[in-house]
Each structure stands twice: as C-alpha cells, then as structure tokens.
Amino acid sequence: MEVKQESTPAPGGGFSVSVEETEKWMEEAMQMAKEALENIEVPVGCLMVYNNEVVGKGRNEVNQTKNATRHAEMVAIDQALDWCRRSGKSPSEVFGRTVLYVTVEPCIMCAAALRLMKIPLVVYGCQNERFGGCGSVLDIASADLPNTGTPFQCIPGYRAEEAVEMLKTFYKQENPNAPKSKVRKKECLKS
C-alpha cells in the first residue's frame, strides 16, 4: 500500500493522501458499505473528497432502484455533480482534485466513468476479481486508451479483509432480486 505518513506527491506525480486521511475517509466508506449490506445490496461504499470535504458519497443501490448502473461510484459522481452546481464550481476543476475512497475495486464501468471525470486518485479496499477495472480484470485506470479521459492512480488494499468479509456475508444470504434459476428438473414420465 502506498499511503504516505505525510502528504507527499504520490508515485507518478499524482495526488497523495496521508494515513490519517485514508483512515478517516475509508471508515466512512465502510459505513456506507454496511448500510448497503443492511439494505440487501452488494456492500460497496465510497466517498469523493475534494479539499478535505465530502462532495459525493454513495453505496450500491442496484437492487433498490432495479437499475444496474447505480453502483456506489455512480451515485457519488451524481452527488458530486450536484454539489458543483449548488456551489458554483466547475466540475472539471473539482473532479481533477478529488480523491475517491471505495471499499471494493471499481468495476470496469465505474473505472471508465472515473477516468472520464478525470479523478486523479482512487484508494480502494479489496480487489474485484470478477469485474475489476483497476487491474484485476482490465486496467482501465492506466491503460493507453486514446480519447477516453485521463489515467488515474490507484492505491489498493486498504482494509481489504473487512471489505471481503462484508462481500462474503452478502453472498451467503439470498438476494431477493436475483433472477430465478433456469435449471429445469426432469419430470418422470409415467407410461
């Protein structure tokens, strides 16, 4: 993990975050993930922090809204855009100086959105082995993808074990919104 003891430039000339900042913001992201779990959502929570202020936060709302795009990061992006409108700030200025703290590696869709929004730094908990967009499946964060926004730096592994435990808890319970199994049972034919 590359969280710095003091605020120093991050590798690659990007943003940096202190251990204290990371602990503070990841604790709040974990609370958002717990809230998602309590609402029968995949337990992912995130915060978007600009100038030491939360400008957007989110938890997964896919089951609640029945909208597959309502991942924690997308909810937080919408809130941050709303914050920019209310504050009279330019989204490009704000997003270019915002750090995203999230409990699970952003999926490919969310990593692409973060890249398009020009987020410079993402601090995340555990890897997303099925859908990860920051290196686990595809490396949207740093791949050479012309005309698709700006690559961003990732600091993985912060409180990863806790994030994994919440995911395990979620997947042990039955998801009431999951599609019904399409496996057909063979019926005995009586002659």
Most confident stretch, 79-83, 169-173, 178-182 = 79-83
| pLDDT-based confidence at residue 176 (cuts at 50, 70, 90) | low
Side-by-side strand order, sheet with 45-50: 53-59, 45-50, 98-104, 121-126, 153-155
The pTM of this model reads 0.84
Over residues 105-162, the pLDDT tens digits come to 999 999 999 999 999 999 999 999 999 999 999 999 988 888 888 899 999 999 999 9
Please report the pLDDT score of residue 94 as a whole number: 97
> What is the pLDDT averaged over residues 22-50?
96
Delimit the domains of the chain by residue range.
19-170
Active-site residue set? 73
Tell me the CATH number for domain 19-170: 3.40.140.10
Q: Map tokens 């709040």 to a residue.
A: 28
Please report the pLDDT score of residue 143 as a whole number: 86
The DSSP letter of residue 121 is: E
H or E element in which residue 86 lies: helix 72-87
